[in-house]
Every structure is written in structure tokens, then in C-alpha cells.
Structure 1
Amino acid sequence: MNNFIVIKGARQHNLKNLDMEIPRDQLVVITGLSGSGKSSLAFDTIYAEGQRRYVESLSAYARQFLDQMMKPDVDSIEGLSPAISIEQKTTSHNPRSTVGTVTEIYDYFRLLFARIGQPFCYLCGNLIAAQTVQQMVDAILEHPLGTKIHILAPIVRGRKGEYRKELLAARKAGFVRVRIDGVIRDLGESINLHKQRKHTIEIVIDRLLVKSEPGVARRLADSVETALKMAHGLVGVLTEDGQVRVYSEHLACIQCGVSYSEISPRIFSFNSPHGACDGCDGIGYEVSGHSESEEWTFDTPCKMCGGGRLRKESLAIKIGGLSIAEVTHLSVQHTVAFLDALILTDREQMIGQRVLKEIRERLEFLLNVGLSYLTLNRPSATLSGGEGQRIRLATQIGSGL
């Protein structure tokens, strides 16, 4: 009995009190005339009951986040396991959808590059190192004499929330001004931020003129240290032209002054303003066409990112000598070879082993369904129907259900 799925009294939709046994661990095809009940049996009965039982086995807390299916009209089903369903549909025509995003492999690569990627300067190509307070002070004092600057502590960068506690804490600490979304405001006034909008909040630590006097350098060093402590290693310098340059005690190029304020998965997302190329908005190509006809074409690779979709800072972070865009240009087969040949330190191996395991498993599923020739940056809209179906199959199998 364990070798069969036993169905008794199936009456879902146009099924007429159906009793049947379906062999397990085999490929079973359900055929019949249109309207004979194929979908009612496969999707609305077997899949629905398997999914419903699986969801009911979860905790009440977990179930509140999931859509629960109605119990199908059937007397009993025995020998049923948790089920997955892959519908027959066309691939996405969204230009942002790729093989990597559909299979979720790209999400794991974003995490991998954020954890063990090595940042390089996109100007000189040197490996980026941490900046000391003295190096930051020296760089700030390179501004022309007499330049008015604000030393800022960026405590919030592009995140949603009201941040009342943070503003109150800054006021209690003795600070008078804050720069919110590019506007300097008094901390003593009533500040109400929209909870569902992203905000950038920078506490004004000090205001001063760039001078060659020793006292200015000492004061600047104290202000920089205060900002670094308050903003967890970041300090911003606002100049008269309204530009803010962010320095980091963690990552910066001493020669060119290029700084990385953070290395997180979101800077590798071409669907996020933190990672998307400013030239093409993460599409990878220059967009041409007419809004009236809505016939858009994507022919020429973006000049700023070269088709990599990401900001130059993100493309300068590498693993094994390749950026995340260069890795996604490889075929699935060559990506597996790249990962197998990757030489990591003990620390990098310890940090990245779980992510690498997930990536390898998903790549292996793509190999098993005959898609070794595809690249992870291949747009979903260019896939054939069979390729799209096999990708969805590999994605579901890779979920580990």
C-alpha cells in the first residue's frame, strides 16, 4: 500500500466519485479529453490535499504567513507526500528577470559576494583597505583653504521608519542639528517622518572652515572620531556644493579616495537603488523606443556598466578574480567549474561554505535537466517554453521540500 497513492471518493469539480491508485516514485501521465477532469484530479485534488496537509503540519505562527488551501471534495487519500505544482505558463517578459533571479541562484551569489568578496578600487584597481582617522583627516584637509564643511554621522541610510528614538538620543547627547533627506533641520523642532518612506538621517557633528592651523586638525580628528563611533564606522563630509563624501574606517582606497560605506547583499541587486547602475537603472542596456507605442528595445549595452547592470562600486568587488557580473556571464557548466577551482582561505571557507553548498546544489539541478549551456544573466524573456519549464522544475526541486 505504501507504494501507491490511494484515492477514494474524489468528487472535486467534475470528478464522479473517483477511486484509483497511483504508483509512487514513478513518472505518471494523466491523459483524457478536454473537461474529463485531468486538472481536477492532479491539481485540485492531489496537489491541494498534499499542500494542505503540509501547511497544517507547521506551527500556528508559520501558518499565518501562508495561504491555506481548501480541503478538496474527497473521502480519503493515503500515501500522499508534500506536493509541488508547476503550472504551464510562459516565461516572464520583465527585462529584469534572469535565469539567476528565477532560480534564486543570483540571490545566493549576492550573499556570497557580500560575505567574502574582496573590494577593489574601480579607479586604480588596487585592493581596498581600511582607513584610519588620520588618513580621513588628511583627505578632508585637502579641500581648498576656507572651504566650509559639515562633519556628519550617517546613522540611517535609505531605510524606512520614523526613528524618533534615534533623533531623541542625538538631542540628549547634545547635538543641535540633523540632516534629513538632504535638508538640515534643528533637533529641537518637532520632526515627524513618514514611516513607510525611506530616509537618510545624518547627525551634524561639527561645522568648520578648512584651515592649515594645527588646532583645526585636532578639532577635525575629534569630530571624525565622534562621527565614526556614532555611525558605526562611517563619517560624512558635506561641502558647500551640497555633495557628501562618505569615509569608512573599514574600506577605502588611500590612493584615489574611493570609499565603500557598506558591502551588503543589496549593493549587488540590480533591482535596488543601492546596487543598480545609474546609467541603465539595472537593465543592462540602453533603452530606446516610443512611449506612445510602448515598443521598447534593448539593443546597446549600457556604457556605464558594460551590461553588468550594477554600480561601478559593486562591479569592483571580486571573488577569484571575477565580479558578480562576470560570474553570471559564465554558462552553468563553467560556473560549476569556476566554483570547483576556487581557492579560499580557511576563514572564507568557514563563512561561505553553506552559501556555496546551496549554489552548487541549484547549479547541479540545472545540469540534470539539461540546461548546462545557459548563463545566469540570460533574460527570462529569451527562454523557450521548454527551457522555462525546466528552470521552474529545477527551482522547485532545489527548494528542498
Structure 2
Amino acid sequence: MPTPATDIIRVLGAREHNLRNISIEIPKNKITVFTGVSGSGKSSIVFDTIAVESQRQLYATFPAFILNFLPRYERPHAEAIENLTAPVIIDQKAVGGGPRSTVGTMTDIYALIRALFARFGSPSTGLVYDYSFNTPQGMCPECDGLGMSVTVDPDKLVDRSKSLNEGAILLTGYAVGSGDWQLYGNSGRFDLNKKLADYSDEEWHDLLHGTGGKVELTFNKGTWKANYEGLADKFTRSRVKRDTSGLSEKTREQIQKYLTEGVCPACNGARLNEKALATEIGGRNIAEWTRLQITDLLEVLGEVTDPAARGLIDATRVALGRVVDIGLGYLSLDRPTATLSGGEGQRLKMIKHLGSTLVGMTYIFDEPSVGLHPRDVGRLNHMLEALRDKGNTVLVVEHDPDVIQIADHIVDVGPRAGAHGGEIMFTGTFDELRRAETLTGQALRRPFAVKEIFRAATGELAVDNATSHNLKNVSARIPTGILTAVTGVAGSGKSSLIRAEFMKRYPESVFVDQSAIAASSRSTPATYLGLMDPIRKLFAKATGEAAGLFSFNSDGACKECEGRGVIITEVAYMDPVTTHCESCDGRRFSERVLALTLRGKSIADVLEMSAETAVEFFPEKALNAKLRTMIEVGLDYLSLGQAMSTLSGGERQRIKLATQLQNSGSVYVLDEPTTGLHMSDVDTLLRLMDGLVERGNTVIVIEHNLDVVAHADWVIDLGPDGGKNGGEIVFTGTPAQLLRDPDSLTGQYLRLYKDGAAVRG
């Protein structure tokens, strides 16, 4: 019986990014997994075509007033996208939410807990908002509900050995004579030539905390009278007591260097005032409830015996149970969301939607298995199946074969990446994919093997008596000169041992993770790797022009689009209209610059080159070596001019690694480098890590991928489980020894893969 036309999402002639005018039909109310190598075009189909158009059409139904507060999306490059439903996009972007956001507030479970304490606590205020650290009624007045006492360190704000005229104020923007400096220099309160070390107690207090009176500030365009405010108080108000989550990493670091941080002495980190903390259930206040590991909190719920509380208790138990079911039972409700990994954040986003009674939605996931031990992937799969079984369409971009296996329908994109991708190579079932001659099909058929011959360590790096987070006074010996994998389920203590403890003891180690790269919106791989300056100099030498002319951020930019390649027009509440710049044909440079060539190629031609093409074009030794690092880390398909903001977490990590590859005698720490990697690309990563070791480096990798674990020379496995049930080293030795270990969960799954019980067998 044929499928009704409306039961299929249909995409016709999609051309976003590297997509080659593809057409595709995706069944509704099924799980469809999109596979293919990194850069093949999976995300271009799912996120940049289907998700964007779904959001664009949904938002078009909202009133103009609402539209003004929503992001605006342009129509994707496709002939038609039909039969869409309302989208729910669950990606790996940082959860954010600022310093007030916790696991409890994000999942709305804290609201249930507050209701319990308001109605059934003793003594109770009866008001739910009295137990919120985000309201004046409930927050600790000392720390404003942050739980941390962040104070300005006066000795970091000023240099006491200098006078105001000598530049005693160390804050950025307070140069002598500047507007901010004049607030103190023009106040008439201080001897401008007197060293701060000689100030009386009154003068010192006035400088840092004084108030009252107006100060006339002089600028080029006139004068302005401002209220006097002490230096420390002004900095605290304008820079500290505000949400810094939207600031750049560099700006946050600049603020942080003037601060001293500690647990709030008034509430001892509980965030709440004395009145809220006085209410107890079963001998515990609300802060003590939220500090408990979620699995323990489930048990504590049983202490509420009032029959009237049964409804709230049951609702709370169901919500907490969802957190446990997805493998995050080791978290506590007071855990700040800013401390969550991308995978943890994505799974918590899932939990919010699992409680929804909406059906007929399209749920879109970006590699939901990130950060998951093989033990926990089964839990993730149950969640995906539950969403489908409620009557929703589930679209998943994924590399993990255990997730791919549960798909009702699979779309394999390729054949390779970048200009060599953008085509639909296969559609069908998992069993059909395993027989297909695509890179994914070949990888699924590949036998799984555990390494038998291991390198010998040249020494060891000690970590003794580690107690960060859930670590239970752990001591470890990490061998040097070889590849060590640090493994364990989520929450077992891997990151605590390596990121918190090891890096603190060995700060000279090169730590490479997937965090955002501090760069401008116009940054590209060419600028990040330091390629642009030598490239511009080559063009300057060949053409006799100034090197600065060959920058789309400078004189060489197209005047019409200002070096963007497109012209963006904002029209009231409508979607922004982005049009191709006819003046430069979207190539960012002026006509004069585009006419200047090096070896027959313009600067725009060079920026459009992939790394694999550019390495042949530039024989110059230094330039060629840097380009080869992109190929070595598996980014041969990236164009030199691609915006850094479009790179995935895994691509960001690998391009960071590319800047470090020429070192020797270093210690490299890699945090889940297989994130975003296709199974066939893992071999490239393994060769890269082997190359680092062979050049005399030590490589430590925090990893769940069993291909990497099986290839390591040494394994340190933490556990046995997560949270309070983890924090111990359960195994150290070679992968071959781990294979025979009866107690390690990682060893258990190594055996399953080797014996063919898992999908690669």
C-alpha cells in the first residue's frame, strides 16, 4: 500500500552549502538517521534546510509583536520543502542561562520541589516564590541568589605604589585623562600626585566605595556631569552583578582577573535566605534536597507521607525518573547548567520534551550520543523511540552505530566531504546499509579488533590524592611517551581526574577541547592558522600591490557588500532579505582586487580552495607545512575561507590541534576527539595520535569510542558507575587486559564488540 503524500516530508532541489540539487523523501512518525562523513552535507539537509524552513514557516504564523523577539530565518536554497510539521531542535549548543540557571530550573523540577516545601514543609511560608533564589522573596540578600561571594580585589584594581596621575588605576579603559579616570581625577577628593599607599583610611574608602556629589567630565564634544561612585562599587555594579553569559570569553577573562571568588558566607552556597532555609521536610531543607544526587533524591521523596502530597510527589518522581533513565542520575538539581557538557545539556533538553503532551512534532537531534558510554546509548535509544511512539517524527544526525541501528529509515550522505560530498548515497534500512558500498556501510562491516602489541612507557606523571568533585582520594600514574585512554561512564570522574586534577598539576600540557574558538565573526581557517599574512605577501610580491589590499576586511573589500559577499536588508518585522552581491559576485573583494592574480588565481579563488587543493597550489615550505596540518587532522575538505562560526565542535577541536602538531616532547590532552567523526574518519584520528606519540609526545585521550580504547597502549578506567557511585579507578592496564577484566563496564562492552554481539561484528 503506497504511503500517503502527506505522510512524507519532501525536499526538492536542495542546494544549501555543498548539497548538489538533491531531492529526498523522509517518512513521518518514524526515526530517520542521517549518516555520512564529517562535512558530507548531513547537517545541511537536516538543520540548514528542513529545520530552518520549519522554523521560518512556524514563526510566520505569529503576530508581528512576537516576531520582533524571535530569530529570523531566510528561505533555504531549495525548490520546494513540503509537509513540514512544527520543529523541536535539540542541539549541542551550550545550555547557557547565566549563573542562575541550574539543572533544577532548566528541567522545571525545582518548581515542583518548591511547591512541595511551600505546602508541606515545616515551618512553611505557604508561598512558592519564597523558595526561589531568583526572586527577592527567596534569594540570599548577601549574594543575590548566586551562592557565590564574588568580590573585587582592590589590589588587582589599583597599583598602590603609584598616584592617580601616574596611572594607579589598572582597569582597562581607565588611562589617565580618560572619561572613566576623570570620575576620580576631577572629583576634587584626592591629591592626584599622592601615592595610593599613602592614602588615609578615609581616602582609601572614598576611592573604592565613596558616594554622593557630581563630577564634571570633559570630552571632545563637551562636558557631562556624572554621579560619583567608588571604583570598586562601580566595577561590581557594571561588570560583576550582571549576566556575563553573553560576553566573549576574552571579556569574561578580563573581568575575572580583578575578582576573588568564594562560597557566600551568609548562605554557605545555598543561594536562599534564612527564612527559606528554615523550612524542612524529613529533617532536610530545600537546599539539602537539591544538593543530593538525583538517584538519592528519589529515595528521599518517600519520606513525605502526607496523603495530600501524593500528586506532587508522583509528578516529581516521574520527572526525576526521566533524568535517571537517560543516564544523568549522577547529577544534582543545584548543578549550574554552565558546567554541563554539550552531551549532558542536550539530554536534559530531551527530558523537557518527553514530558510534553504535544504530538505530531518533528524532533531534530544533533549527535545525541555525544559524551555517552556505550552502556548508556541504549537508554538514549529508548528515549528516541518513546518520542516516535507518541506520534512524532524524529530526525537524528549521528555517527554511532548503536544509534543508527534503531532507525526505521537511514539516509547516507556523501560520498565524501566538502566539494566531494553533498549527494544522497543510500536510503533504506540498517541491514540494507550494512550491505551497501558506501563508506558507512563499509565501516559497519569492518571487524572489531583489540590491539595486542603496545608501546613501552618512558616514564610516568603522578596524580596523587585527587578529590575534585566525586573523586574518592584517587591516585593515578599516567605513563609518558605512549597513548593513554581515560574511560568510564558519564559522571564516573574522567574529566575531574584529567581536566581538574591533572591539568592543575601539569599546566604546561596542551589541552585541546571542543569549546568555541575566540575569534571574530569574519575569522576563517586561513586566519586562525596564520595563513593569510603569508598568502597576502605572496600576492603583494606577484602584483606589486600592498599586502593589505588582499583582505576583505580592509581596502580590498567590495564597497557594495563591505566584504561580506551578500547584502542583508532588514525590513521591519519581515525575514531579513539576503541577496547575492552582484558587484563582486559574492566573492567579497573589489573588481580591481579580483583582477590581480597569483599563478593564475585571484585571492578569492584561493579562499575558496579546500585544504587538499591549496596544499598543491602553495609549495612554499612554511605555508605548505601549515596546510598539511589541516589534512593531517582530517580537515582536508574545509575551504580556507569558511567562517569559523560554522564549524562543528569536533572540527573546532581538530583545527586547534592543527596549530600544535609540530611540537615534540609535549603532553597532549584530548577531550573526546571522536565527537563529530564518522567511523571511517576515526582511522585518520588514530594515525594522527600515533604520529604525535612517534614524535616523542605523550597523548592522553578522554574517550568513549571503543575503536580508540582498543587502539590505546594503556587504559585508565573510572567508575564503577557515575556520581557518588563513581570516582574510583576500577582498572589500569592494556586494552588486552581490559578485555578480560570482569568488573569494568568498558571491558564488558569491548568484549561485546569483539565477540560480534554489537553492530560492528
The TM-score by the shorter chain falls in which range? Answer: 0.5 to 0.7
**What CA distance in whole angstroms lies between the structure 2 residues aligned with 1:103 and 1:360?**
13
- Residue 85 of structure 1 and its aligned partner are, at CA, apart by 1.0
Q: Per the alignment, in what secondary structure is the counterpart of residue 42 of structure 1?
A: helix
1:106 counterpart (94, 110, 123): 110
Matched residue type, 1:281: D
Question: Aligned in 2, Cα 1:29/1:342: closer, same or farther, shift over 3 Å?
Answer: farther
Q: Deviations over 1:266-288 (max 9, x none)?
A: 22221222211122221223334
Which protein has greater RCO, CA pairs closer than 8 Å, 6+ apart? 1
Contact 1:117/1:317 (<8 A) preserved: no
Q: Which amino acid aligns with 2:320?
A: L
**Would you say the 8 A contact 2:121–2:280 is kept in 1?**
yes
Q: Which residue of 2 aligns with 1:117?
A: 120
SS in 2 for 1:28: strand
Paired amino acid for 1:28? V
- What RMSD, in angstroms, separates the aligned Cα atoms of the two structures? 3.5
Structure 2 residue runs without a partner (length 5+)? 158-170, 172-253, 359-761
Q: Matched residues in 2 for 1:54 and 1:113: separation? A: 39
Calculate percent identity across the aligned residue pairs: 38
What is aligned with 1:267?
130
Q: Which residue of 2 aligns with 1:29?
A: 34
SS in 2 for 1:325: helix
Distance, in Å, in 1 between the alignment partners of 2:100 and 2:9 is: 41
Match in the other structure for 1:387: 344
Residue in structure 2 matched with residue 294 of structure 1 by the alignment: 255
Distance in 2, matches of 1:87 and 1:267, equals 34
Distance 1:66 1:364, change over 3 A: farther
Q: Give the AA of the match of 1:364.
A: G
2:293 is aligned with 1:336: no
Secondary structure of 2:338 counterpart? helix
Question: Does the 8 A contact of 2:59 with 2:67 survive in 1?
Answer: no
- Residue 32 of structure 1 and its aligned partner are, at CA, apart by 4.5
Q: Kindly state the Cα deviation for residue 80 of structure 1 after the two structures are TM-superposed.
A: 4.2
Displacement of 1:375 in angstroms is: 0.4
Instruction: State the match for 1:82 in structure 2.
Output: 86
Query: How is 1:231-310 mapped onto 2 (pairs within 5 angstroms)?
Result: 263-288=126-151, 290=153, 292=171, 293-295=254-256, 296-300=259-263, 302-310=264-272
Specify the alignment match of 2:98 in structure 1: 94
- Which residue in the other structure is 2:174 paired with? none
User: Distance between the aligned counterparts of 1:33 and 1:64, measured in 2?
Assistant: 34
CA apart distance, 1:90:
3.2
Instruction: Report the alpha carbon displacement of residue 382 of structure 1 after superposing the two structures with TM.
Output: 2.7
Alignment-derived partner of residue 48 in structure 2: 44
Matched-pair contact (CA < 8 Å) for 1:329–1:377: yes
Residue 249 of structure 1: aligned partner: none
State the distance in 1 between where 2:32 and 2:282 align. Answer: 41
1:367 to 300, 320, 324: 324
Partner Cα separation in structure 2 for residue 339 and residue 79 of structure 1: 45
Task: Go from structure 1 to structure 2 and tell me whether the alpha carbon gap of 1:362 and 1:400 turns closer, same or farther (over 3 Å shift).
Answer: farther
**Are the equivalent residues in 2 in contact too, given 1:320–1:343 (CA < 8 A)?**
no
Change (3 A) 1:73 1:111: farther
Flag the 1:32–1:297 CA change in 2: closer, same or farther, 3 A: farther
Question: Per-residue deviation at 1:313?
Answer: 0.8
Q: 1:156 maps to what in 2?
A: none
Amino acid in the other structure paired with 1:264? L
Give runs of aligned pairs for residues 148-187 of structure 1, distance below 5 A: none
Distance across 2 between alignment mates of 1:345 and 1:61:
48
Q: Secondary structure at the match of 1:286?
A: strand
Cα distance 1:382–1:33, how it changes in 2: closer, same or farther (>3 A)? Answer: closer
Deviations 1:156-212 (A, max 9, x none): xxxxxxxxxxxxxxxxxxxxxxxxxxxxxxxxxxxxxxxxxxxxxxxxxxxxxxxxx
Residues 381 and 30 of structure 1: CA distance in aligned 2, closer, same or farther (over 3 Å): same
Q: Which residue of 2 aligns with 1:317?
A: 279
Judging changes above 3 Å, is the alpha-carbon distance between structure 1 residues 75 and 380 closer, same or farther for their aligned structure 2 residues? same
Distance 2:318 2:55 in 1: 24
How far, CA to CA, are the matches of 1:332 and 1:82 in structure 2?
Answer: 32
* Per-residue deviation, residues 2-29 of structure 1 (Å, max 9, x unmatched): 6754322334565443211335532513
**Paired residues of 1:110 and 1:269 also in contact (CA < 8 A):** yes
Aligned partner of 1:108: which letter?
A: L
- Contact 1:6-1:20 within 8 A present in 2 as well: yes
Counterparts in 2 of 1:80 and 1:64: CA distance versus 1, 3 Å:
closer
The answer on whether the counterparts of 1:361 and 1:398 sit within 8 Å (CA) in structure 2 is no
SS of 2:24's equivalent?
strand
**Relative to 1, partners in 2 of residues 1:365 and 1:400: Cα closer, same or farther, differing over 3 Å?**
farther
Deviation at 1:400, TM superposition (A): 4.4
1:377 to partner: Cα distance: 0.5
2:325 alignment partner AA: N
The alignment covers a number of residue pairs equal to 252
